[in-house]
Amino acid sequence: MQVLIAGAGPVGLSAANALADAGIEVLVLEAEPRLPQNLRASTFQPPTLDLLARFGATQQLIDMGRVAPKVQYRDRAGWVAELDFGVLKDNTAHPFRVQCEQYRLNEVLAARLGRVRYGAQVTAVEQGDAGVTVSVNGAERLRALYLIGADGGRSRVREALGIALEGFTWPERFLVASTPFDFAAVMPGLADVSYFADPQEWFFLLRVRDVWRAMFPARAEESEADILSDAGIERRLQRVYAKATPYEITHRTLYSVHQRVAESYGRGRVFLAGDAAHLNNPLGGMGMNGGIHDAFNLAEKLAAVLRGEKPEDELARYERQRRPVALEYVNTITIANKRNLEMCDADEQRRWRAELERAMSDRAAQRELMLRISMIASLRKYACA
């Protein structure tokens, strides 16, 4: 085997498809008995859509989800700032976001690859000069020239390498509740992706095909049972839009939220990608997208080295190009996004609103901002590192 990949999430499956297309022998090991159907990410950014198009996956995401050409920032009193991804039409073939559950992408990518071993948990990793040996379920041993740890935030591969995930965990957790209630019908002009600033309790509304997802911060002192109770969710949703009948809730989850980056993106013949390498808050929709960008970057380099087109030190560029994006770019933007929604200082609020309003009236300023929000700028900045 040339490359083993731990984890059939969006990152492991993107890397596997890119490697297989380059003629590399690759096998994905997934701990779960089938593809997990969790409802985490749903925002696909323009450059991610550009990358996934080569697998034919972008059109499928569009068909299964919703095209979101705009993003809005609002407050509860009626202030609205709206930005349009259309200003990026010369920078991407997809000047919009697509809203679609991440597990649907996993299904598309796994079907296309046709080679995932389920119920195969990576439990130990050893490496020497010539290759890597991976223990599966504590028993079987598989050998490969390289291993990609795309096994999520609690990565066993990262642990086996002894690599620390540096950063911090926010005291508050984030609640996500889904409802078929159509907020756009009662909030005129509401965009499919809308962030609401409020120093007491910010929230955001995000539309996928059949439901709206609402996300709220939950204070550290609130109990999990209260936060997730019908009454707790109802109270929060009634503050979004007060209505006489209770909300129907089709899905609810509470997440711990981290801002962490691995101290290194690999050792020797083993590399980390996606959540195994970096975790950030979901405000801005950057975690999975950044992970998919890691996957394409690493797969291209591994393929070039395995085909003898580049020397092995080409692989060192992976960390040089991708770790600064997580540290300086995704961390900075997602922390700023959270601060902008929750800040109570009136001067700070005025400054943030003025920046958005300037972007709305000045196309060049809007393009600059949208290049950052869409993550196109992150790919450009470190492309030559």
Ligand X SMILES: Cc1cc2nc3c(=O)[nH]c(=O)nc-3n(C[C@H](O)[C@H](O)[C@H](O)COP(=O)(O)OP(=O)(O)OC[C@H]3O[C@@H](n4cnc5c(N)ncnc54)[C@H](O)[C@@H]3O)c2cc1C
Residues lying near ligand X in the complex (CB under 6 A): 6-12, 29-32, 36, 40-43, 102, 121-122, 150-152, 156, 174, 176, 255, 274-275, 282, 285-289, 291
- Say if strands 26-29 and 116-117 run parallel, antiparallel, or are unpaired: parallel
Cβ 12 to ligand X shortest distance, Å: 5
Strand partners, 68: 97
Cβ 143 to ligand X shortest distance, Å: 16
User: 135 or 349, CB closer to ligand X?
Assistant: 135
* Cα separation, 8 vs 29, whole angstroms: 7
Contact 284, 340 (CB under 8 A): no
Q: What is the phi/psi pair of residue 177, to 5°?
A: -125, 135
User: 10 or 95, CB closer to ligand X?
Assistant: 10
User: 91 or 289, CB closer to ligand X?
Assistant: 289
- Say if strands 97-99 and 66-68 run parallel, antiparallel, or are unpaired: antiparallel
Residue identified by tokens 């109770």 is 229
User: 88 or 295, CB closer to ligand X?
Assistant: 295
287: nearest Cα among 378, 357, 364, 354: 378
User: 138 or 188, CB closer to ligand X?
Assistant: 138
* Cα separation, 205 vs 207, whole angstroms: 7
Query: Nearest-5° angle of CA 7, CA 276, CA 165?
Result: 155
Cβ 291 to ligand X shortest distance, Å: 4
User: 58 or 102, CB closer to ligand X?
Assistant: 102
Residue identified by tokens 């997440």 is 255
Cβ 33 to ligand X shortest distance, Å: 10
* Cα separation, 83 vs 32, whole angstroms: 40
Give, as one character, the DSSP assignment of residue 116.
E
What the block records as the tokens of 79 is 């202030």
Cβ 239 to ligand X shortest distance, Å: 20
Cβ 107 to ligand X shortest distance, Å: 12
User: 81 or 100, CB closer to ligand X?
Assistant: 100
User: 29 or 83, CB closer to ligand X?
Assistant: 29
Cβ 80 to ligand X shortest distance, Å: 21
User: 224 or 357, CB closer to ligand X?
Assistant: 224
Q: How many residues does the chain have?
A: 385
User: 150 or 249, CB closer to ligand X?
Assistant: 150
Query: Nearest-5° angle of CA 33, CA 35, CA 36?
Result: 95
Cβ 360 to ligand X shortest distance, Å: 23
User: Which residue stretches of the chain are H helix?
Assistant: 10-21, 46-52, 57-64, 102-113, 156-161, 183-186, 224-228, 230-240, 287-306, 316-324, 331-342, 346-361, 363-373, 376-381
Cβ 162 to ligand X shortest distance, Å: 16
> What letters, b where the CB count within 10 A reaches 16 and e where it falls short, cover 341-368?
bebeeeeebeebbeebeebeeeeebbbe
Contact 145, 269 (CB under 8 A): yes
Cβ 293 to ligand X shortest distance, Å: 10
